[in-house]
Structures are given as C-alpha cells and as structure tokens.
Amino acid sequence: MSEHVRFRSGKDTIVGVLTRPSNQVGAAPLVVMAGGWCYVKEVVMPHYSRYFNEVGCATLYFDYRCFGESSGVPRQYVDPWAQIEDYRNALSFAETIDGIDQSHVGVWGISYSGGHVLVVSAIDPRPAFAMSIVPVIDGYRTMQRGHGEVAFGRLNKLIMEDRGRRFAGDPGGYMPMSTETPEKELTTWPFVGTYRGFQKIKKGEAPRHEHRNTIESTELLTHYNALPYCRRIVDIPVHMAVTAGDIYTHSDSQAEAFNAITNPDKKYVSVPGVDHMSIYTDRNHLAKVAKIQADWLKTVVGAPC
C-alpha cells in the first residue's frame, strides 16, 4: 500500500511516497529514506522499501527540494545542509502520520545521503536507528581522489570561475553529474559506471532524473564532512553496509567513520560480490544489501516486525 504525500521544508513543498506493510496490524515502525547525488525518489528507494515492508515496517521516501516533484530553485541544486533539513522535516511530518510507532522511526540513506543520515542521527534526538549504505564521508577527499591531481585542479578552477560569476550577479552554471568520456569532459563524478548506471535507471524507472547539477553543488560537496558528527552518535543503533574497494566513496573513509561512532550498538558489513553501482543497477546485488539491512532492522524494532 502506498500513497503520495506532501510536507513543508523551509519555503518549499516536499513530495514523497508513504508505504505501509500489507499485513500491518497496529502501529508500524517507519523508515525515512532519501537518496544520494541527483536522486529522485524513484531511484532504487522503492526497491529497498519493499524489503522493509516485508519485515513489517512502513517507509517514507521523498524528493529533496529542487529535485523531482518537489519545489525549489535553482533546480538540481545539491545543498547538503538543506537536504539534511529536509530529512529533519520528514521526521516532523512522520510525527503527524496515523498508524506509525513513533518510538521506532529511523533514517536510511545511500551514498551522499548515507552521510546525511549520520549527521541527522548526531544532531536530531528523534531517530531510533540509522542505516547507511556506501556513504560519502569526506567530500573533499572523495573529489580529490576520484578526479586525480590534474583534473581536481581543473575542477577547482571551474568552481572559482562560477563563484566569480555569482558574485557579479549572474546565475551560477551547471555541469554534468558524470559522462561516458570523463577524460574529455569535466564532471562531478568522473566515472563511466556512474553515467551508464544512471542512464539505465533513468530509462527504466526514474524519468525525472536529470544527470546534471549546479557547479555550486560540487563546491559544497568539497566542504562536506560527516566524520566529526559520528562521534556524537552515542545512543542509537547504526547499520553501515559498504562494498570492498569502493572507488566512488571509498571504503577506508567509511570504516573510519564507523569506528568513530561512539555507540557500541552498531553493525558494519562489507557485502561481498557487489560494487558501488551494482547495488543500484543489479537487482540481485541490491537484494543482497537490502536483505542484510532488513534482517538487522527486524532485530532493532522488535516485535512489530
């Protein structure tokens, strides 16, 4: 069972989908879900949601402001702190939903939002649990490693040129999220696998996805660091799923963040046989991660599942 819902976040209207388990009896736990870089709510989240529904949990997944069906300008503007605020307003909206077990409302994120849920869990007392998949931890290090020294210099030059245009009163520019020819075209994520994976997803199930972002979004990514917040996660359980040798968001950074989480009630799983993009594009690989997290979720929320 699912329904479209709307709630306010700042000056914008957020559009999401609320799903409930088909066999729900009484109040259900809720997983609040949002996506990574340039996601719309149709990107992978409906699939993960079904696994959580199967263990008796409701889900709420949504488009951030400036994306998909949600309002907000400029379009394709990825502001991590605005997105974290959207998560927190989704938690406020969850408090108004009938049939939800308010003592078991938690957060889930993947890639960029995998870092966001760690921040949310550190600064907001309401999440009862957090699930993070292949999170972005340190945006500067991620961009520096991903691009390499020469291209990273070109990226910073582009960012500074865009900052100059914005200072002069002109609109900021856009750049591709990724491309099939990263050696020729400067993008935020310089991986052919990202381009091919998201083109497949856009064609198959997420037509609202736009494979571009503002240049300022990439600048904000280089300022992003979830690691310090992990030390403030002291009293909620956390599950982190990563892939071995992640060249996109880097498993060593993810392990460092996990180790910094203060609460000992935490679980770290390096899922064998999958990679960062295959858990989006290969249903069998997605199922591996989703089942691992759904099984853990069932132990956390207890009897209702």
Tens digit of each residue's pLDDT (9 = 90 or more) over 52-78: 999 999 999 999 999 999 999 999 999
170: CB partners within 8 A, 6+ apart: none
Sign for the pseudo-dihedral over CA of 231, 232, 238, 239 = negative
Residue whose tokens read 């996506």: 35
Counting as low any pLDDT under 70, the low residues of the chain are 303-305
- What 3-state class would DSSP assign to 19? strand
pLDDT of residue 305: 42
Going by C-alpha positions, the residue among 12, 148, 120 that lies closest to residue 73 is 12
Q: Which CATH topology does 2-137+225-301 take? A: Rossmann fold (3.40.50)
- For residue 128, the one-letter residue type is A
pLDDT of residue 245: 85
Structure tokens at 59: 């889900």
Q: What is the percentage of the chain residues whose pLDDT exceeds 70? A: 99
